[in-house]
């Protein structure tokens, strides 16, 4: 064995051991933090009379419950607005799209201070009863630990993205008691690829989260279901139709979120005060529909009980929850949309299960299967994770029949929603920030790399007023075939080619034969855009201009091609290499 082989073996052993350690450490930290976060929310909900249990315990103090219902969300919104205003540099809560950007672009992640402040803001939001979700903050909490480990000098390839994937997988595994779903969610939503290099540590982290939550702390599952099986084959047509309707409901949900954000932008109230306004409206509505408060886990569990809600009650809660969630998110409460999507989905599924016998008077298998199908069909369309939601059903219920039914609804829901709104709400939000993953992961990343990083300062300049003969002499002396024409302020005027100078009058001003039009790059031109612009290009290099059209340098055609190949090669290594 050569010394080179020995070095390679030592490197492989080091990477395996270190990646395993990263997975266990990040998985443990994310899992414990997720448990603490969820328990803190429950503690606040109980103390602030938000949870149904606390409200029942205080039902003999009616006016105290009324006062808390109105005041707690409003005061919580005020605190959230102040936290976001003064402690979060980005001026908004951090969410799964930020985790996706951190992995896909390798740009500098938000600071740890911003991440902790965002977690605090989401804790206050959820603790005070805001109609937002807890899973989005948990995803970013896992991202925060992954980012911290990613900054260590461990000499691991793609260290930050793998560590973030580990944190996210552990957080989801802990939250749902579903390690396989946590593993798939990290790959399906955050990493956007499968490779053994990432798959192995993310699997270890997801298993670590499950062991801590289910074995050590014995956390209860999200819900318990008793289901005997799908009794009639024709019901699968009902499941498919339910999926299609849920896709439409997901579109309505995402549209409401967008409209609420636009309404908030036009509302003449200081930004830091807007969450308090939403909290006040939420509290007033909750006096009549208390189910809109908070995460709504109790409502979710009741939805799968036969006759727990009447049809009109389900319809009212669905409409109120959709509207209030959009209001809370749009006006600045910090939290996710996965929990509200689960709740609205399961309520709609129960509603659908109750009206099916009136529309199609045939025997059916009960409300439970329709409720679960609706929950997963709607949630998968919103977060863009069909495999994850199918696996959540299987891991929580251990029911093969229920999983198959949910799979049919999820497939049809995603087929429709993908064409209506895109892969997910996260992708819509990223597109609004200029990062369009619907174009393909390669193109999105190429569009995020700026060609200015490949700028060359070694080029020949010709100034307006110089003679053709002088410029020709300069080009020959420098061994170049073209010069960049600028005025006295270095403002770009065009390109001058040696072949045009040969036949021109040596005494003529050089600007008389310059090409004023042609390809130029700017500081924000991406590698993808530069490749598109170089179609049909003939020349040595392309000038790069600043906002005032001053020449900063040139980018050779070879540099653009090299940048493209380097980025694509690195992506392929990340996706396919095992170690």
**DSSP string covering 136-160, please?**
HHHHHHHHHHHHHHHTS----TTHH
Q: What's the CATH superfamily of 449-567?
A: CBS-domain (3.10.580.10)
Q: Which residues of 450-467 are buried (b: 16+ CB within 10 A; e: fewer)?
A: bbbebbeeebbebbeebe
Say how many C-beta atoms besides its own lie within 10 A of residue 216's C-beta: 11
Provide the residue count of the chain: 579
Alpha-carbon distances, residue 385 vs 95, 182, 240, 369, 390 (angstroms):
16, 11, 18, 20, 9
DSSP 227-280: ------TTHHHHHHHHHHHHHHHHHHHHHHHHHHHHHHHHS-S-GGGHHHHHHH
Question: Would you state the pLDDT for residue 4?
Answer: 52
DSSP 202-213: HHHHHHHHHIII
| CA–CA distance, 563 with 524 (Å, rounded to integer) | 15
Say how many C-beta atoms besides its own lie within 10 A of residue 423's C-beta: 20
Q: What angle do CA 165, 168, 169 make, to 5 degrees?
A: 80
Task: Report the interhelical angle of 400-420 vs 367-383 (nearest 10°).
Answer: 40
Say how many C-beta atoms besides its own lie within 10 A of residue 40's C-beta: 13
> From its phi and psi, is residue 192 left (phi > 0), alpha (psi between -120 and 50) or beta?
left
CATH T-level fold of 3-216 = Clc chloride channel (1.10.3080)
Question: Would you state the pLDDT for residue 82?
Answer: 97
How many secondary structure helices (H) and strands (E) does the chain include?
A: 23, 6
Q: Which two tokens stand for residue 233?
A: 């084959």
Q: What share of the chain is helix, strand, coil (3-state, %, to 5)?
A: 65, 5, 25
pLDDT tens string for the chain (579 positions)? 565 555 578 888 888 899 999 999 999 999 999 999 999 999 999 999 999 999 999 989 999 999 999 999 999 999 999 999 999 999 999 999 999 988 888 778 899 999 999 999 999 999 999 999 999 999 999 999 999 999 998 888 889 999 999 999 999 999 999 999 999 999 999 998 887 788 999 999 999 999 999 989 988 887 778 888 898 999 999 999 999 999 999 999 999 999 999 999 999 999 999 999 999 999 999 999 999 999 999 999 899 888 889 999 999 999 999 999 999 999 999 999 999 999 999 999 999 999 998 888 888 898 999 999 999 999 999 999 999 999 999 998 889 999 999 999 999 999 999 988 888 899 999 888 888 887 777 888 888 889 999 999 889 999 988 999 999 999 999 888 899 999 988 899 999 988 888 888 888 998 888 887 789 999 999 999 999 999 878 788 999 999 999 999 999 999 999 999 988 888 887 777 655
| CA–CA distance, 278 with 264 (Å, rounded to integer) | 10
Question: Would you state the pLDDT for residue 577?
Answer: 64
DSSP 521: E
| CA–CA distance, 133 with 334 (Å, rounded to integer) | 9
| CA–CA distance, 245 with 554 (Å, rounded to integer) | 54
CATH of segment(s) 235-427:
1.10.3080.10
DSSP 218: -
Q: Tokens 């309520």 identify what position?
A: 347
Residues of the chain with CATH 3.10.580.10: 449-567
Q: Which two tokens stand for residue 347?
A: 């309520």
Partner residues linked to 541 by β-bridges: 556
Q: Give Cβ neighbours of residue 393 (< 8 Å, ≥ 6 apart).
A: 372, 376, 399, 402, 403, 406
Residues of the chain with CATH 1.10.3080.10: 3-216, 235-427
Task: Determine the 3-state secondary structure of 332 from DSSP.
Answer: coil
Contact assessment for residue 377 and residue 369, using Cβ atoms and an 8 Å cutoff: no
Which residue in 519, 521, 518, 546 sits closest to 450, CA to CA? 521
Helices (H), 399-538: 400-420, 425-432, 441-448, 468-478, 498-502, 527-533
> From its phi and psi, is residue 518 left (phi > 0), alpha (psi between -120 and 50) or beta?
left
| CA–CA distance, 402 with 392 (Å, rounded to integer) | 11
Alpha-carbon distances, residue 258 vs 186, 320, 414, 425 (angstroms):
26, 17, 20, 10
Say how many C-beta atoms besides its own lie within 10 A of residue 143's C-beta: 31
Say how many C-beta atoms besides its own lie within 10 A of residue 28's C-beta: 17
Which residue in 415, 414, 406 sits closest to 238, CA to CA? 406
Phi, psi of 541 (to 5 degrees): -155, 165
pTM of the predicted structure, to 2 decimals? 0.88
Question: Would you state the pLDDT for residue 439?
Answer: 73
């Amino acid at each position: 064995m050569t010394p080179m082989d020995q070095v390679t073996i030592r490197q492989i052993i080091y990477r395996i051991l270190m990646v395993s350690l990263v997975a266990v450490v990040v998985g443990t930290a994310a899992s414990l933090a997720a448990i603490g976060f969820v328990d803190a929310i429950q503690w606040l909900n109980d103390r602030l009379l938000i949870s149904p249990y606390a409200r029942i315990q205080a039902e003999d103090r009616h006016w105290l419950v009324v006062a808390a219902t109105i005041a707690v969300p409003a005061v919580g919104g005020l605190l959230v607005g102040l936290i976001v205003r003064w402690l979060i540099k980005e001026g908004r809560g951090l969410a799964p799209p930020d985790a996706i950007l951190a992995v896909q672009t390798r740009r500098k992640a938000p600071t740890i201070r911003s991440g902790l402040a965002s977690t605090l803001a989401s804790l206050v939001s959820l603790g005070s009863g805001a109609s937002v979700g807890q899973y989005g903050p948990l995803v970013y909490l896992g991202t925060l630990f992954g980012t911290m480990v990613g900054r260590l000098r461990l000499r691991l390839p793609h260290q930050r993205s793998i560590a973030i994937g580990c944190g996210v997988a552990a957080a989801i595994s802990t939250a749902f008691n579903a390690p396989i779903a946590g593993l798939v969610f990290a790959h399906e939503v955050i990493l956007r690829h499968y490779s053994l290099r990432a798959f192995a540590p993310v699997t270890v982290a997801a298993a670590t989260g499950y062991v801590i939550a289910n074995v050590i702390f014995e956390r209860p599952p999200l819900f318990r279901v008793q289901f005997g099986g799908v009794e009639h084959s024709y019901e699968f047509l009902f499941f498919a139709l339910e999926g299609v309707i849920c896709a439409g409901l997901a579109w309505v949900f995402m549209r409401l979120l967008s409209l609420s954000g636009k309404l908030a932008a036009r509302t003449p109230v200081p930004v830091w005060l807007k969450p308090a306004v939403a909290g006040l409206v939420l509290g007033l509505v909750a006096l009549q529909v208390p189910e809109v408060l908070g995460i709504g886990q109790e409502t979710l569990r009741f939805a799968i009980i036969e006759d727990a809600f009447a049809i009109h009650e389900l319809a009212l809660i669905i409409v109120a929850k959709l509207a209030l969630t959009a209001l809370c998110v749009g006006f600045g409460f910090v939290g996710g949309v996965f929990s509200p999507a689960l709740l609205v989905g399961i309520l709609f599924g129960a509603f659908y299960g109750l009206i099916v016998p009136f529309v199609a008077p045939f025997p059916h298998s009960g409300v439970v299967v329709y409720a679960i199908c609706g929950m997963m069909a709607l949630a998968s369309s919103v977060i863009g994770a069909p495999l994850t939601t199918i696996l959540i059903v299987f891991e929580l219920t251990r029911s093969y029949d229920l999983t198959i039914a949910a799979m049919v609804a999820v497939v049809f829901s995603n087929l429709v929603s993908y064409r209506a709104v895109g892969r997910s709400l996260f992708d819509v939000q990223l597109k609004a920030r200029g990062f369009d993953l619907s174009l393909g992961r390669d193109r999105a990343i190429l569009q995020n790399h700026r060609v200015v990083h490949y700028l060359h300062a070694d080029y020949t300049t010709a100034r307006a007023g110089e003679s053709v003969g002088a410029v020709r002499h300069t080009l020959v002396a420098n061994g170049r075939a073209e010069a960049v024409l600028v005025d006295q302020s270095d403002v770009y005027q065009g390109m001058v080619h040696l072949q045009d100078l040969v036949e021109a009058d040596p005494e003529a001003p050089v600007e008389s034969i310059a090409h004023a039009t042609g390809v130029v790059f700017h500081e924000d031109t991406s590698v993808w855009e530069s490749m598109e612009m170089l179609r049909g290009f003939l020349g040595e290099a392309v000038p790069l201009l600043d906002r005032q059209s001053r020449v900063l340098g040139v980018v050779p055609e070879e540099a653009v091609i090299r940048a493209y190949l380097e980025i694509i090669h690195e992506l392929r290594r990340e996706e396919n290499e095992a170690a």
